[in-house]
Chain A
Amino acid sequence: MVPVETPIIKKKAKQSTELDGPWTVVVFDDPVNLMEYVAKVFQKVFGYSRAKAEELMMTVHKAGKALVWTGSRERAELYVQQLQQYQLQASLEKSK
């Protein structure tokens, strides 16, 4: 009945599929941010326990990056924004 709108719906569906989760929040190592601070930020942003936050911080330090959270794109973007407010180098990766 409304054929004109069909392509638009398809386009939206495609975009939605591209953005659909899960997405992973990645934090990269840098020589500036103090290790203790990075762990504190993980606790604040994600509500992780001190032990989990320190474990992730050590992964960032030793491996150069750590996958710190996985879930919807929208939520992951919010977390990246918060991490960047603390000046951590954070980004998103689509989970495999």
Chain B
Amino acid sequence: MRVMPTLEGGLRIEIETPTDWLVLEQISDDALDGGEDRLPQRLGALMDEQSEWEEVVIPELKALFNGQITCVVEGMQRGQAEVELGEEAAWGEVRIPKADAENWYGALNQARLALESRYKFGPTEEIESLDDFSEEKRSAFVRNQFYNALQGVLLDYVLE
């Protein structure tokens, strides 16, 4: 796939093979690994009992994070629908309008946090070789790097 900025201030992901769709679909799967409560509960655990995190903030975080994933899923569904309608050449594209950029960034972050939680990669600069990784962990690491790269493009070209 190729990722490029649009004139409207967003991003366009050009799909080059059917596998690209599978890779993008992994974003929501990875983000939801461990359940939709995992990240809000983990963040809430940092607070003391005097705060009202459990009652007030955690439900809000959960709704916000779910909304980010929904935005990504719907963005891909729009792109896939256009391919099925024959409106796009080749394998289609996914558009990330500027207004959706924070949601995409957040969903990618959720996916990377979940992958880190499961596989414990640690700082990327300290990883010298993937040889010791199992096939599953290596695949997860490659996805993590892809999500990281996409976040970098969003930061550089879209997010203010």
Contacts and interface: CB of A to CB of B under 8 A. Distances in A.
Contact of A90 (B46, B116, B123, B151): B46
Given A40-B159, A81-B57, A87-B106, A32 B113 contact: yes
Contacts of B65: 87
Contact of B151 (A19, A37, A86): A37
Contacts of A37: 105, 151, 155
Interface residues of A, number: 22
Q: Majority SS of interface residues in chain B?
A: helix
A91 B116 contact: no
A85 B113 contact: no
A19 B121 CA distance: 38
24 contacts: A30-B113, A30-B116, A31-B122, A32-B109, A32-B112, A32-B113, A34-B151, A34-B152, A34-B155, A37-B151, A40-B159, A80-B47, A84-B43, A85-B60, A85-B64, A87-B106, A87-B109, A89-B43, A90-B43, A90-B46, A91-B47, A92-B47, A92-B48, A92-B51
B110 interface: yes
A7 B50 CA distance: 20
B61 interface: yes
A49 interface: no
Interface in A61-87: 77, 80-81, 84-87
